[in-house]
Amino acid sequence: MKKEDLKSLEATLWHSADTLRANSDLKSTEYSTPVLGLIFLKFADNKYALTKERSSRNMKASKRPAGQNLSVKSPWKDADSTCLIMRVTTIF
């Protein structure tokens, strides 16, 4: 990244943080909750997109007749245990 791009990114991040603080009833110790939730959602979205792309490629490459039973791979196969723990604790 160029220096100008980094400065722009930094300004955007600070503005977003200020907006979060100003428009919420969160205490300073509670900011991590929504931020970590957003980070997890982005991770899950990236994993889903990757899995969807792989499945699409596999379906095209297999050339199997329609309706034939195909095994589905878990999107969490490559995820480390920390991500899985985050997922489980977020659900409950």
Residues 6+ apart with CB under 8 A from 18: none
pLDDT at 92: 44
- Are 20 and 34 spatial neighbours (Cβ–Cβ below 8 Å)? yes
SS3 76: coil
Amino acid 51: pLDDT? 92
Residue pLDDT, tens place only, 12-52: 988 887 787 787 787 777 777 878 888 899 999 999 999 99
Structural tokens at position 3: 């220096």
The whole model's pTM is what?
0.44
Q: Can you read off the two tokens belonging to residue 36?
A: 């970590």
